[in-house]
């Protein structure tokens, strides 16, 4: 089951397991990192926006 929020987040739930699976955002980050084959320390050297770099490095997550 997928549930979307007003902020654009998508939360995925499996009806076969009790625990919550990773978010779609996590899958996107993981897949991107696998495709480019870079270590986290080398992501900063990519010629992409700082916003996307912060996203890929999980720096966009608000800490409580």
Give the Cβ contact number of residue 58 at 10 Å.
11
Torsion of CA 63, 47, 40, 59, to 10 degrees: 0
Q: What is the pLDDT of residue 18?
A: 59
Q: What is the pLDDT of residue 29?
A: 79
The model's pLDDT over 8-53, given as tens digits with 9 standing for 90+, comes to 788 777 666 656 667 777 777 777 777 777 677 788 888 888 988 8
Q: What is the pLDDT of residue 63?
A: 61
Q: What is the pLDDT of residue 43?
A: 81
- What is the reported pTM? 0.48
Residues contacting 53, CB < 8 A, separation 6+: 43, 44, 46, 59
Chain position carrying tokens 């779609």: 24
């Amino acid at each position: 089951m997928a549930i979307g929020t007003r902020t654009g987040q998508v939360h995925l739930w499996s009806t076969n397991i009790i625990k919550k699976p990773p978010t779609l955002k996590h899958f996107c980050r993981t897949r991107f990192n696998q495709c480019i084959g870079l270590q986290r320390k080398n992501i900063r050297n990519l010629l992409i926006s700082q916003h996307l770099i912060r996203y890929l490095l999980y720096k966009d997550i608000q800490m409580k």
